[in-house]
Structure 1
Amino acid sequence: MTTSFHTVAADAAQPPHPAKKPHTVKAPFGAQRQDEYYWLRDDKRENPEMLAYLKAENAYVDAQMAALKPLEDKVYNEIVARIKQDDSSVPYRERGYWYYGRFEAGKDYLVYGRRKDGAGVDAVSIQQANGAADFAGEQVLLDVNALAAGKDYYSVGDWEVSPDNNLLAYADDTNGRRQYTIRFKNLATGETYADAIAGVSANLVWADDNKTLFYVENDPETLLTKRVKKHVLGTDPKLDPVVYEEKDDSFYMGIDRTRDDRYIVIHVSSTVSDEMRYAPAADPSRFTVLAPRTRDVEYGADHFDGRWVIRTNADGATNFKLVTAPSASTSRKDWKDWVAHRDDVFVEGVELFDGYAAIAERSDALERVRILKNDGKDEYVKADEPAYSMGLDANPEPGTPWLRYSYTSLTTPATVYELNVQTGERRLLKRQPVLGGYDPSQYVTERVWVPARDGARIPVSLVYKKGFRKDGTAALLQYGYGSYGASMDPGFSVTNVSLLDRGMVYAIAHIRGGQEMGRKWYDDGKLLRKKNTFTDFIDVTDYLVKAGYAAPDRVAAYGGSAGGLLMGAISNMAPDKYRVILSQVPFVDVVTTMLDASIPLTTNEYDEWGNPEQKKYYDYMLSYSPYDNLSKQAYPAMFVGTGLWDSQVQYFEPAKYVARLRDLNTGKHPLLFRTNMEGGHSGKSGRFRQYRERSEMFAFMLGQLGLAGDGTAAATQ
């Protein structure tokens, strides 16, 4: 077999080399480390030398990618051609209106709208109307295209309609830092009020009086959620009273209304503990603690049918169980088991209805929905593929026998069904349209189990085009995350089709640190067992290559955020096993970041990574931190991306990482570093801009894997 790989011309621009400036990072117990690129950190994003370096790196990417620009454009055009530009979401009914979001052809942002319920108006009929030019009866809530006009970045994080349906509160972000401003609109007149509340999270709850809004204020430095405040429309936000303030920086905070709309709740949550407060929505003057926080006891509660229904891991229920408590409960002593704990089933959530409950569960790394009726009978919603993703969809009104749920797989586009729990009838409400002749029958998905080096069995979801041969010649893109208990379920990707059509295999490694296999799967991939995440990913690569899914010199790996930590770790530990690494907004400077409590998210995550002020955690984190473990060796080709305004993984982590990697890398493969100067953790705003960024990254990868031409021939040579 012969494969031609894309190489960069010898006279291409040279990579930038930022200055080294001595800096000592000290730990409380006396440990010291040198960080010659620490100066690249500028919390105000104003340092001219730092900005010049980032711009120089971007210019270097432009020069290096010039030869692949036609491929980037081709991939981008393929992706966009699959997208129905005037698409819309499935409408859901709430308080007499059908709500939805829709795109207009050629525009980047959603239009949020609603239509009043009535004869001939339902989810299906509105979707059909949304495909036409005439939106008869529509009331536009927010035209995000108009709001975003003239802005480099714009995002609406959350919006809520008042109980009387007349007022809209929404939170917007204009730089990607997830520091939102709340604004108010009169839906009857279209007037936007002068009230504007800055420095908040995107979390809003109306009280029953239709003039009082509860919101969460962020700390201006750490950006942590700190205080719940209430605002009365028409008053000065500076005078808004504090309803609750959280003193412990290891807790996040959120607010909501219960299923029966009876209570407003405040939920504070750390990695290992929860506490909830509740107050009547009709008179939210005093909040009562449902159950005091206790370390290693997690819980979340909803109120319906005169009782609290609580999901918790209390009393050794590591995979969680459901308990109930009276409406006036203030103690765990009141909790009574309802759905028992099981070692082989992880309870993810529950939605309560009149006469039944829908329980989101996970077993053998697959999601399922269990319908539990009030008479004790239960059944499972059926699935038709070996690897899929299934979950509860929007079900805002409990008084219906129709349960709405979502379904997707690596070959099946996102689908929304309704199931009548009384008759068993199932209705297809919508399947994500994929244009350009996409035929799911021409692709194959499968689930394999990979033995880890310590005996654990790692589930892996795979997809490839029909006719693929496991002869060890193909190119593979392997994706992973493996942190925070976040499960990376197999779902359809409109972008990955461009890879599959070029003969590539796409694999999701459901490694430890996620929660695909239950809570123990998460616990075995965090704190002092974090390295299981990295070795699992490498073991999956070894298995897939040995099984013939990929050539050993044509494996690419992809991860972002904490998945970027994974990319940094595997490229240090096993650089010879990967030809290309794609790393987006990577968390790569673990020890320095976790030593600095002023950085957003740090204190919240001591129970995820460990507190480096304690030597045992410091030493363990230092043993895998990608930035600290870079060494003189040959590294794979890499494409690293970040956002200047990222508040979750600060831009300076990947900037320092790339600078030091350039110093130490003895290999000849390209290293590219792209900074989105207007975006944050999620990249640029707008519907299609994300696909431009993805296309550039994919073009880089395809060039390195010998797929810069027509693809199919190169993949099978």
Structure 2
Amino acid sequence: MIRTTAWLLAGFSIGASIAAQAQQLPQPPVAAKKPHEVKAPFGAVRQDPYYWLRDDTRKDPEMLAYLNAENAYADALLAPTKPLQDALYNEIVGRIKQDDSSVPYRKKGYWYYSRFETGADYPIVARRKGTMDAPEQILLDEPKMAEGKGFFAVSAQDVSPNDTLLAYAEDTVGRRQYTIRVKDIATGALKADAIPNAEPDFAWADDSRTIFYVEKDPTTLLGKRVKAHVLGTPLSADRMVYEEKDDTFYMSLKKTTSGQYICIVLQSTVSNEERCAPAAKPTSFTVLAPRERDFLYSSDHVGGQWTIRTNWQAPNYRLMIVSDADAAKGRAAWKDIVPTSADVFIENFQPFDGFLAIEERSGGNKRLRLLAKGGKSSFVEADEPAYAMTLDVNKESGTPWVRYTYDSLRTPETTYEVNAATGERKVLKVQPVTGYDPDKYVTERIWAPARDGTKIPVSLIYAKGFRKDGTAPLFQYAYGSYGYSSDPYFAPAWPSLLDRGMVYAIAHIRGGQEMGRKWYDDGHLAKKVNSFTDFIDVTRFLVDQGYTRKGRVAAMGGSAGGLLMGAVANMAPQDYKVIVAQVPFVDVVTTMLDPTIPLTTGEYDEWGNPEQKQWYDIMLAYSPYDNVTAKDYPSLFVGTGLWDSQVQYYEPTKWVAKLRATKTDSNPLVYRINMEAGHGGKSGRFRRYRDQAEYMAFALDQLGVK
């Protein structure tokens, strides 16, 4: 990444605030305006003078010069906060155990785990045979593999059925175009086989020679074809197994818990389909249930039967079973084991030989329920008002023990095992957080009224001694899209905010599924605006209740949550002192009009298809880029990655350029571009905390927090 030249930093005194030195700042970059028309198929035309900032090769000198100028300006603007950035970074990483390791899990007689060495950004992945006292076999030495690479990530790994080979998917760009590689575990030698441009999931056949993988379209990055590769043969000889013609479906692969089946999973917003074949002879894949609009399901296999989670006549989902013998009969043979409920949303499940573990949502929390074959049901207990329980790694079904994790804003991730037969619970690990005392903080769940009367759950945390007198600054986060729920997880950055007197809040707005499927349905497509007004109404309620006051609120969201931030900035700029928008999806209409952009075709049922006037008008009414107007905006911190495959870098780039040219205030606008990163930011355990410390320091500075 190109940084500032010396003249940009000249004259800044360390420790002074941004506002205090505003007059000394160089002028922000100015992007050229070039005529360009964006046309919709039904005839609508929009002018987009910043369209030229899109370069799919990411090599255009003029575009790169603008991005580098923005980074240089960000460096200059943020220079006064550098001491605070360093302090925040040191506090955050100081809470992280340097030589940490995961809780080992057992699979086929081996114990698998990962461990970090002191100072390392990447883990060593290893296993031991029989017991944890056996000699260590290193599967992946990721610190060594990452040497010399600006970006490095291993997204999936799996040992062959005969336990001698490891397949893994690596990304060295950040664009999520993975290469699948295979190594001999005993010798550490890499096989010549390397499968490029693949999705990160794959599946071994039982012969330990055949790997099924998903090949991506090089332009749209959609998974298009499932192929079978036999080790030692050229890629040109790979067998075509399945090709998906419908670009609204994403494709992945999975192996059932029993290990007996390989399944091709085809998923759209409102429909899906699973095609499964015996792993012992995966030559013919059979459809478990054919795709049908507004029909969703997922499956797993244990003990000669399939367990299926489905919304079939069940908006909040139900669980059904079907035997191997009857599976070919389709839905007609499925039988209820957990019926649907109006109040409880079934989110996930894990079948075991004698029982079923169920993740479900009730009252905005994610809890765990165990269901015995005889029908007896029991809940795993929680001691806090806002929390999340999540099924952890459970590779073997012939055990009464279920592994899960427990989190809250106050409680670091705790890994438990619970015995389904006796109810006994064991703590396997509490994530160590150096110097952290949970008794210093209070977590709370409140309900904020939206303008239409809906009660919005809000998870809060603050330090003991906090008074609801309006003096505290507030940091409010939300996501609210795709049915993804924003659970109250602990993060090592929270104490740095709380110890400075801040309140941290998660607004569980519509568009997620915290309160069930209707919560999602009421926050997407034609009802998307509910997500935005919910967030604003939560802010105003927190102000009214004395958690903060106007002028002391920071808001943050990323990706589709960045769309939320862009919409909120347009709709209620006066309610926020500072807004942080990371990798924001802000150019909604133009992006959704272009089917060559990754994710576009698969999201027509999330946002609408603007090729149709009805959806064009709805999306245009809230698209942040299209609704920038000449008015005062809050202070803004915008971040992106040049190689982002989820939200292309040019969306926030165009948005920032238009804001600079249009807004009427003198509030700072920072645009930080990671030139070697994608959607998730920089790789590595610690490097992302540099980015986090940077935008946190900016927000604290703007709020006047000392």
Q: Would you say the 8 A contact 1:268–1:275 is kept in 2? A: yes
Deviates more, 1:524-533 or 1:10-19: 10-19
**Aligned position for 2:322:** 325
Q: CA deviation at 1:9?
A: 3.2
Paired letter, 1:55: N
Q: Mark the CA change 1:192 to 1:5 in structure 2 (over 3 Å): closer, same or farther.
A: closer
Instruction: Write the deviation string for residues 523-564 of structure 1: whole angstroms up to 9, x where unpaired.
Output: 000000000000000000000011000121110000000000
Note the aligned Cα RMSD (angstroms).
1.0
Match in the other structure for 1:75: 88
- How far, CA to CA, are the matches of 1:186 and 1:257 in structure 2? 21
SS of 1:404 mapped into structure 2:
strand
Q: Which amino acid aligns with 1:656?
A: K
- How far did 1:8 drift? 3.5
Which letter maps to 1:357?
A: L
Match for residue 129 of structure 1? none
Is residue 278 from structure 1 mapped to residue 276 from structure 2 by the alignment? Answer: yes
Alignment-derived partner of residue 3 in structure 2: none
SS in 2 for 1:361: strand
Q: How does 1:282-361 map to 2 (within 5 A)?
A: 282-315=280-313, 317-328=314-325, 329-330=327-328, 331-361=330-360
Q: How does 1:427-576 map to 2 (within 5 A)?
A: 427-435=426-434, 437-576=435-574
Deviations 1:626-655 (A, max 9, x none): 000000000000000000000000000000
Runs ≥4 in structure 1, deviation > 4 angstroms? none
- After superposition, what is the alpha-carbon deviation per residue over 1:665-709, rounded to whole angstroms, capped at 9, x for unaligned? 1111100000000000000111111000000000101100111x3
Q: Distance in 2 between matches of 1:249 and 1:388?
A: 37
Instruction: Give the secondary structure class of the aligned counterpart of 1:628.
Output: helix
Alignment check: 8 A CA contact 2:18 2:80 kept: no
Aligned to 2:32: 19
Query: Any conservation in 2 of the 1:278–1:288 contact (CA below 8 Å)?
Result: yes
Provide, for residues 230-252 of structure 1, a one-character-per-residue CA deviation record: whole Å limited to 9, x for no partner: 11111111221110110000001
Comparing 646-655 with 412-421, greater Cα deviation is found at 412-421
The CA deviation string for residues 200-254 of structure 1, in whole angstroms up to 9 with x for no partner, is 0100110100111111110000000111111111111122111011000000111
Residue 392 of structure 1 aligns with an amino acid whose one-letter code is L
Q: Which residue of 1 aligns with 2:77?
A: 64
Match of 1:45 in 2: 58
Matched, 1:177 2:190: no
Are residues 1:394 and 2:393 paired?
A: yes
Distance in 2, matches of 1:519 and 1:319, equals 6
Show the counterpart of 1:91. 104
Could you say what secondary structure the match of 1:176 adopts? Answer: coil
> Contact 1:6–1:706 at 8 Å: present in 2 too?
no
Structure-2 separation of matches of 1:538 and 1:96: 53
Cα drift, residue 117 of structure 1 = 1.4
CA distance in 1 between partners of 2:464 and 2:136 (Å): 43
Structure 2 residues not aligned, in runs of 5+: 1-16
* Partner of residue 685, structure 1: 683
**Could you tell me how far 1:6 is from its partner in structure 2?**
4.2
* 1:106-185 correspondence runs (5 A): 106-118=119-131, 121=132, 137-185=135-183
Once the two structures are overlaid, the 10-residue window that deviates more, 622-631 or 354-363, is 354-363
1:258 aligns with 2:256: yes
CA contact (8 A) 2:18 2:81 kept: no
Distance across 2 between alignment mates of 1:314 and 1:418: 32
- Whether the aligned pair in 1 keeps the contact of 2:302 and 2:353 (CA below 8 Å) is no
Match of 1:64, SS state, is helix
Which sits farther off after the overlay, 335-344 or 26-35? 335-344
In the other structure, the counterpart of 1:715 is none
Map Cα deviations across residues 402-461 of structure 1 (whole Å, 9 max, x no partner).
1111001001000100111222221100011000x2100000000000111001110000
Contact 1:86 1:103 in 2 (8 A): yes
In the alignment, structure 1 segments of 5+ residues that lack a partner are: 127-135, 710-717
Distance 1:9 1:333 in 2: 69
Amino acid at match of 1:548: G
Residue of structure 2 in register with 1:404 after alignment: 403
Residues 619-634 of structure 1 mapped to structure 2, 5 A cutoff: 619-634=617-632
Deviation (angstroms), 1:570 = 0.3
- Residue 589 of structure 2 aligns to a residue whose secondary structure is helix
CA shift digits 1:492-537 (9 cap, x unpaired): 0101210011000000000000000000000000000000000000
TM-score, with normalisation over the residues of structure 2?
0.97
What is the identity, as a one-letter code, of the residue corresponding to 2:125?
Answer: Y
TM-fit CA distance, 1:5: 8.2
Distance of 1:701 and 1:485 partners within structure 2:
28
TM-score normalised by structure 1 residue count: 0.95
Alignment of 1:593-672 (within 5 A): 593-672=591-670
Q: Do the aligned residues in 1 keep the contact of 2:553 with 2:578 (CA within 8 Å)?
A: yes
**Partner Cα distance (1:8, 1:407) in 2:** 45
Name the SS for the 2:648 alignment partner.
coil
Kindly indicate whether the alpha-carbon contact (under 8 Å) linking 1:5 and 1:705 is maintained by their aligned counterparts in 2. Answer: no
